[in-house]
Chain A
Amino acid sequence: MDLILQQMVNAVSLGGIYALLALGLAVVFSIVRLINFAHGEVMTVAGYGIWIALASAWPVAAAVALGLAVAILAAVSMERVAFRAMRGADVTTLLITSFAVSEIIKVLFQNGISARPVPVVLPAWMSGTLDLGPVRIGVIALISILTVALSLVLLSVFLRRTVMGLAMRAAAEDFPVVRLMGLRANHVIALAFAVSGILAGVAAVLWVAQRGSVDPLMGAAPVLKAFIATVLGGLGSLTGAVIGGFVVGAVEVCLQGFLPQSLLPYREAISLALIIAVLVWRPDGLWPAEQTSRS
């Protein structure tokens, strides 16, 4: 029982990071119909921001703030430099553009900083553990869970209680009508990228805290999982992205924790097979958007 509880904590911790990233992808997709595979590189940029700050002896809070700031800057710059020129292009063109942006950033980091991961050392107290009843939870894992919860609450408040949040939700529903209402498309789209940048930045902080290093390929694997999560949740659905993130995290942790040793090498294949089975059952995802868009 303790083992199951412990693995549930692991699933929530991992699923939360996937949910943040998936939400970042979904926010942009819902408005501009772009699956931004360079979203992982926003995370990487934030990771290097944190590394530079900590290596310069900045306090942790300031390093986190810098990480978030550079993530927002990177996401908005990406939109301005690469994606704005492609606005209105078909899905395939946008997809290839995002892959190109992703590759360019990776190679710049590999050759400009180092191909090797750089260590990020956080204060010793963050490596401690807490005993919560039968469950022993790491301080970083606990911070991760709380941060994810807080981020989702804040995003929900922003989207529901502010004018710009309302504009973004409306744009996700019907962008041409939002433009006819007088809202500037550039502002709404830039805001969507900024929000996705914040989410990637928060995910990067948690990722770096848990993994202890930053490398040029850091964002590649999680953004792939986040993409799977957005498809599983329902492309374009913000709620679906969060649900998808937690489901993907739970499936991964459960398979890693409970599969027999002989089947462990097939874990990824089994995980994807399960997700395909869900999509066969619900082709539009677990929580599809009002206006579903499938490729």
Chain B
Amino acid sequence: MDRYCRRAGALALAVTAATATGALAQDYVIGVAVANSGGLAPFSQPAYDGFKFCVDEMNASGGIAGKHPIRLEVRDTRSEISEAVKFAQEFVDIGVNFIVAPPDGDPTMAMGQITSPAQIPTMTFAGTAPILTSVGEYVFGSYPADNQQAAVLGAYAAELGYKTAFLLKSPDAAYTQFGPAYFGTVFEANGGQVVGEASFTMNQPDFSAIVTTIQALNPPPDVIMTSAWEPDFPAFIKALRGAGVTIPVMGADVLDTPTVRGLGEVVEGVVHTSGGYPDPGSAHAEFNARFEAATGKVADTNYVVNGCDILGMIDAAVQAAGTTDAAAVGQALAALPETEGIMSSYTFAGTDRMPMRSVVLARIEGGEKVIIRREMADPATMPAP
């Protein structure tokens, strides 16, 4: 009997010692749905790179809230919504603490319909459609929403003296359909007029017919606005400029890529919104340098730094909740007051879980992104989702 007592005592002592040194600290499990291939891969890969880089850094200093090592459950959706839905269910079954969804509103909403009822906070890597949070109270955005961007860009277009605008939309995604619509709403509220629209299909082979339609407008519009992304935007702008049309073009944050900037003369002067700009000496610039030094990859889009900011948001929410319980963290995240981020600060409190973040207005000049200004959208002028 004494022998059993001694063994039990030794075991209890060992457990106590282990707990005291943190060896048995509970892992914080994050389910990550990435898109390593398919149409979302150009945005998902850099976002995941930034996220993973900061997860490794955070784990080196103890993990989430300094005490919960982060364990990632990573799944590749191949940009398929059906795959995203499958993984959402898997993450719920595993019992992850938090989920990061692909960088688009549509798969995020599809996942949120499963994860939100399970009270697992689910944040998109970079989806900006403000309607994405409407599927459940545990679904979150991370980037400035389309209506925030439109509020800034639409007002800027009017400020430049543009009176008429032509919108190029695609019904294939909430982003490409509603982004230009929000712009049109703000533009008209500022005295402008939308004089025409065209609709394209994602990966549309040819834009010459649309360009001819724009050429036929008399008088021509003062500005063209689109939320088309790659490879559609390069195809459109090439066709537009190739037909001799010099009407100014404005676009959304998705144009903030080296591919678009690398298109040469045809994109000269294109104005677009962005989530951030690495001012010299800023935390953003410092992050970019640290990331490149550690990974050998250039952080040439804001999706990289935003991936890191997502981890910061999770960390802030866990600290605010004082627990790793998924539902409590979700509620704490929804109530986060203005918090310092690397790309920009973010505020969830008082929003519908699309964080208020500053929007950068930028112009492409000589293949470089040149900042025009940085401003916060006025909620009073933001079109309703």
| A interface residues (Cβ-Cβ under 8 A, vs B) | 3, 6-7, 10, 13-14, 17, 106-107, 110-111, 114-119, 121, 124, 127-129, 136, 138-141, 210-213, 215-218, 220-222, 225, 249, 252-254, 256-257, 261, 264-265, 267-268
- Chain A residues with CB under 8 Å of B262's CB are 118-119, 121
Q: Please, how many angstroms separate the alpha-carbon atoms of A117 and B238 in the complex?
A: 14
B295–chain A nearest beta-carbon distance, Å? 15
- Chain B residues with CB under 8 Å of A110's CB are 36-37, 41
Q: Is the CB of B171 within 8 A of A124?
A: no
Residues of B192-213 contacting chain A, CB below 8 A: 197-199, 201, 203-206, 208-210, 212-213
Q: Is the CB of A141 within 8 A of B39?
A: no
Sort A-B residue pairs by CB-CB distance and give the 7 closest, nearest first: A115-B41, A119-B262, A116-B42, A256-B209, A264-B199, A138-B242, A10-B208
The answer to whether residues A211 and B231 also contact, given A115-B37, A116-B257 and a CB cut-off of 8 A, is yes
- Chain A residues with CB under 8 Å of B230's CB are 116-117, 213, 215
The answer to whether residues A217 and B203 also contact, given A210-B239, A211-B231 and a CB cut-off of 8 A, is yes
Q: Please give me the residue from chain B that is nearest to A10 by CB atom.
A: B208
Contact of B235 among A6, A210, A217, A264 (CB under 8 A): A210
Q: Is the CB of B210 within 8 A of A127?
A: no
Task: Flag the segment in B57-65, B263-271, B273-281, B312-320 that touches A.
Answer: B263-271
- Chain A residues with CB under 8 Å of B263's CB are 119, 121, 212-213
Q: Please, how many angstroms separate the alpha-carbon atoms of A238 and B264 in the complex?
A: 39
The answer to whether residues A6 and B242 also contact, given A141-B208, A218-B231 and a CB cut-off of 8 A, is no
Q: Is the CB of A14 within 8 A of B206?
A: yes
Q: Please, how many angstroms separate the alpha-carbon atoms of A111 and B44 in the complex?
A: 13
- Chain A residues with CB under 8 Å of B241's CB are 127
Q: Is the CB of B199 within 8 A of A267?
A: yes
The answer to whether residues A3 and B212 also contact, given A116-B42, A119-B259 and a CB cut-off of 8 A, is yes
The answer to whether residues A225 and B205 also contact, given A107-B37, A127-B242, A211-B235 and a CB cut-off of 8 A, is yes
Q: Please, how many angstroms separate the alpha-carbon atoms of A253 and B239 in the complex?
A: 14
Q: Please give me the residue from chain B that is nearest to A263 by CB atom.
A: B199
Given contacts A119-B264, A138-B242, A138-B243, 6 further A-B contacts (CB under 8 A): A17-B205, A110-B37, A114-B42, A119-B234, A136-B244, A215-B231
Q: Please give me the residue from chain B that is nearest to A4 by CB atom.
A: B212
The answer to whether residues A211 and B197 also contact, given A136-B243, A253-B209, A257-B213 and a CB cut-off of 8 A, is no
Q: Is the CB of A117 within 8 A of B243?
A: no
Contact of A121 among B235, B244, B257, B264 (CB under 8 A): B264
- Say yes or no for B216: interface residue by CB 8 A criterion: yes
Q: Is the CB of B203 within 8 A of A124?
A: no
A126–chain B nearest beta-carbon distance, Å? 8
The answer to whether residues A211 and B36 also contact, given A13-B208, A222-B205, A265-B171 and a CB cut-off of 8 A, is no
28 contacts between A and B (CB under 8 A): A6-B216, A13-B208, A17-B205, A111-B37, A115-B41, A116-B42, A117-B234, A118-B259, A119-B258, A124-B264, A124-B265, A127-B238, A127-B241, A127-B265, A140-B242, A210-B235, A211-B234, A212-B234, A212-B238, A212-B263, A213-B230, A213-B234, A213-B259, A216-B37, A217-B38, A220-B203, A253-B208, A267-B199
Q: What does the 1/0 interface line of B224-268 toward A look like (CB < 8 Å)?
A: 000000110011011101111000000000000111101111100
The answer to whether residues A111 and B234 also contact, given A127-B241, A267-B201, A268-B201 and a CB cut-off of 8 A, is no
- Chain A residues with CB under 8 Å of B324's CB are none
Q: Is the CB of B212 within 8 A of A6?
A: yes
Q: Is the CB of B242 within 8 A of A210?
A: yes
The answer to whether residues A129 and B244 also contact, given A117-B230, A261-B199, A267-B199 and a CB cut-off of 8 A, is yes
The answer to whether residues A141 and B242 also contact, given A121-B262, A121-B263, A265-B199 and a CB cut-off of 8 A, is yes
Contact of B216 among A3, A107, A111, A141 (CB under 8 A): A3
- Chain B residues with CB under 8 Å of A264's CB are 198-199
- Say yes or no for B347: interface residue by CB 8 A criterion: no
- Say yes or no for B190: interface residue by CB 8 A criterion: no
The answer to whether residues A138 and B244 also contact, given A210-B235, A211-B234, A212-B266 and a CB cut-off of 8 A, is yes
Q: Please, how many angstroms separate the alpha-carbon atoms of A252 and B204 in the complex?
A: 10
- Chain B residues with CB under 8 Å of A3's CB are 212, 216
A290–chain B nearest beta-carbon distance, Å? 31
A207–chain B nearest beta-carbon distance, Å? 8
| Residue from A106, A215, A256 with most neighbouring chain B CB atoms (10 Å) | A256
A146–chain B nearest beta-carbon distance, Å? 15
Q: What does the 1/0 interface line of B11-39 toward A look like (CB < 8 Å)?
A: 00000000000000000000000001111
- Say yes or no for B116: interface residue by CB 8 A criterion: no
